Amino acid sequence: MSSGLVYLVGAGPGAPGLLTLRGRECLEQADVVLYDYLANPELLAHAPPEAERIFAGKHGQGPHVLEQADINRLLIDRASEGLCVVRLKGGDPMVFGRGAEEAEILREAGIRFEIVPGVTSALAVPSLAGIPVTHRDWVSGVTILTGHDAADKKETQIHWEAVAQAGNTIVILMGLTQMRRNLSALQAAGLAPETPAAAIQWGGSPAQKTLVGTLEDLADQVASLNLRPPVTVVIGEVVRLRSSVEWFERRPLFGRRIVVTRPKHQAPRLAGLLAEQGAEVLECPTIEILPLDATPLREEIQRLDSYDVLIFTSTNGVDQFFRILKEERLDARSLAGLRLVAIGPQTARSLADRQLLVDVLPSEFRAEGILEAFAQDSLEGCRVLLPRAEGARSILPETLRERGANVKEILTYRSVAPQDGVAAWDKIVAEGLPDCITFTSSSTFTSFLGILDQSREGRSVLDKIKLASIGPITARTIRDAGWAADIEANPFTIPDLAAAITAKL
DSSP H or E segment with residue 310: strand 309-312
Among 31, 89, 92, 174, the one annotated catalytic: 174
For residue 258, list its beta bridge partners.
Answer: 281, 436
- Cα–Cα distance between 382 and 378 in angstroms, integer? 8
Q: Write b or e for each residue in 316-330: b if 16 or more Cβ atoms lie within 10 A of its Cβ, otherwise e.
A: bbbbbbbebbeeeee
The answer to whether residue 420 is catalytic is: no
Q: Report angle CA 289, 292, 293 to the nearest 5 degrees.
A: 160
Please indicate whether residue 36 is annotated as part of the active site. Answer: yes
Contact 467, 449 (CB under 8 A): no
User: C-alpha distances in angstroms, 382 versus 234, 285, 343?
Assistant: 71, 38, 19
Alpha helices (runs of H) in 206-258, residue ranges in sequence order:
218-225, 242-245
CA distance 440 to 455: 22
Task: Answer yes or no: are the C-beta atoms of 365 and 494 closer than 8 Å.
Answer: no
- In 3-state terms, what secondary structure has residue 128? helix
DSSP code of residue 85: E
| Three-class DSSP category at 151 | coil
Q: What is the DSSP string of 193-218?
A: TT-EEEEEESTTSTT-EEEEEETTTH
Q: How far apart are CA 85 and CA 75, in angstroms?
A: 7
Would you give the end-to-end CA distance of the chain in angstroms? 58
What region does 481 belong to: left with phi over 0, alpha with psi -120 to 50, or beta? alpha
Catalytic residue among 36, 92, 435, 496: 36
The Cα 37–Cα 23 span in angstroms is: 17
Q: Three-state SS for 156?
A: coil
231-235, strands of its sheet edge to edge: 142-146, 169-173, 231-235, 196-201, 209-214
Residue count of the chain: 505
Q: Is 154 tagged catalytic?
A: no
Degrees (nearest 5) of the Cα angle 171, 174, 177? 115
Query: Residue 299 CB: number of other CB atoms within 10 A?
Result: 11
Residues annotated catalytic, as ranges: 36, 58, 174
